[in-house]
Amino acid sequence: MQQHPTAHAQAPVPQVRRATRRTAIRLALAMPATWALALGTAGHAVAQTAPAAFPTKTIRFVVPYPPGGPTDLMARMLQPELQSRLGVTVVVDNKGGAGGNSGSAEVAKQAPADGHTLLLAASGPMAVNPSLYASMPFNPLTDLVPVVQLSAFPLVLEVHPSLGVKTLAELIAMAKAGKPVLSFASAGNGTPQHLAGELFNTTAHVKMGHIPYRGAGPALNDLLGGQVNVMFDIVGSSLPHLQSGKLVPLAVTSAERAKVLPSVPTMAEAGLPGYQITGWHGIAVRAGTPQATVDKLNATVNAIFKEPAFRAKWEAIGTPVVAGTAADFGALIKSDAQRLGKLVRDAGVTMD
């Protein structure tokens, strides 16, 4: 009897099913190996794209002013703390010149964007100089990334005892009389000390000359030596000399009295209402630095400032502890670029 064609076509079906079952078993057995290979490949891809460990080498901490000034002091106070917590050598490198522009531009334009070069960012080059100079070697808002704010400080108007004045009113009267002709020293063009002097000229309606130095340290040395008679300086930098009587404090530039100089009046209290100016410091790195690196640096500095012993030393130099987030510091830079820039323009000060 002949088989029906349909029956003949169905005859191989059991073999196909057996083959399918064998294939399924082989695939099932191979699955774990396939998954392992896939996971291994994915892990390799993640390892390739994960940010590199930080830090991996010596960190250079650039101070855009010469040794001896308050900016330099802050960097040297932080240096051993950063070194201990980050586990690598931290070297302070002073690069003064052009009112802080030279050292700041070196970090902004030449340093690798890897977090191993830090800038002790000061309000002068970061917020004042863009309005003071017609041409800047860097853009503080785009070439640098804020990491953390370190300080917010008042200045103290101080004179050499040989000048013979003990009050702000006496200094203003002497400046208006022009006998002797007065000049004020500063840490350099565009620094808070410089801007404070120019604002004083405008507010008090006097014309003291300006003598810019390459940093607050050299300026303070000449004030102590009597080569210059007037200076606005960071409170902490001059504090020992004010306490010893080598310098005479007339007023502080903040809205409130400085805690370390409670007997020294504010400019408003001393007879010059409307006068107020403060400066600040922070840490910045070159734009393009990985966010994870910025975050680690910020967390490290905040941890340092939480240590009671370090806080006490920091506040002893006349500046309160600030710290906070990178975003907070960035907002301050932007707002002060507008606020201090207006002061520069209103005073008609230019360095070009």
d(CA 252, CA 314): 19
State the pLDDT at residue 52: 67
State the pLDDT at residue 77: 97
Q: Show the low-confidence residues of the chain (pLDDT under 70).
A: 1-52, 352
What is the SS3 assignment for 63?
strand
Q: Is the dihedral of CA 69, 75, 79, 81 positive or negative?
A: positive
d(CA 18, CA 5): 22
Phi and psi angles of residue 249, each rounded to the nearest 5 degrees, phi first:
-85, 135
State the pLDDT at residue 320: 82
State the pLDDT at residue 62: 99
State the pLDDT at residue 349: 77
59-153+278-347 — its CATH code?
3.40.190.150
State the pLDDT at residue 105: 98
The CA dihedral of 288, 289, 291, 292, to the nearest 10 degrees, is: 150
pTM value is 0.74
State the pLDDT at residue 51: 55
Per-domain residue ranges for the chain? 59-153+278-347, 154-252
The CATH class of 154-252 is alpha beta
What is the SS3 assignment for 157?
strand
